[in-house]
Amino acid sequence: MLAAVMVVEGILRTPGGEGHLDTGWSLYQALAKNSRLYLLSETWTEEQSSLWLAKRHLTGHLGYLHQTLPRAAGRLEALSRIRSWHIGLVLEPNPAIAAALLRAGWNTAVITHSAYSQPHWRPDYDGTPRPWDVLTEEIEHQTALRLSTPHTQEQP
């Protein structure tokens, strides 16, 4: 059975906030049922996040890691503490950190959300800022898509 580590910030929880990301919530549910899922947070300790997770019925993970150092070095340090868990996949929101994880031998999937991705992370980034009208049009388009798509799973 696959053992996976999901980074909380940017996949499951909105960066810098307390909201959850629907895609991450659904991914969590699927992985918790079909794999050995562990969570890794660079911001909150397990104690700090336990209520947030419980309110969203996210209780199917087997373990929780807190990253004590920043950026890629912190992620690698945290993952080095769990080598005995035989992790087969790390779900990472930051492509730069994912590159460091790959160099260190971790199988890594990059999960990014269009609304929360750093511009330079996006594959369509050309180095120039997008005009404000284009940004607001894209947000309206994404909102319309989200509202027009029927949800097949009940959200908390």
In-domain check, residue 11: yes
Q: Are 90 and 118 in contact (CB under 8 A)?
A: no
* Chain centre to alpha carbon of residue 149: 22
pLDDT in tens, 57-81: 999 999 999 999 999 999 999 999 8
In-domain check, residue 69: yes
pLDDT in tens, 81-137: 887 788 999 999 998 999 999 999 999 999 987 766 666 666 666 767 778 888 788
In-domain check, residue 95: yes
In-domain check, residue 152: no
Q: Which domain holds residue 113?
A: 3-126
d(CA 154, CA 25): 11
pLDDT at 149 over 80: no
In-domain check, residue 43: yes
Residue 106: CB atoms within 10 A of its CB come to 18
Average pLDDT over residues 22-29: 95
Instruction: State the Rg of the chain over Cα.
Output: 16
Looking at residue 101, its pLDDT comes to 96
**How many domains does one find in the chain?**
1
In-domain check, residue 91: yes
CATH of the domain at 103: 3.40.50.1000
In-domain check, residue 156: no
Average pLDDT over the chain, rounded to an integer: 87
In-domain check, residue 149: no
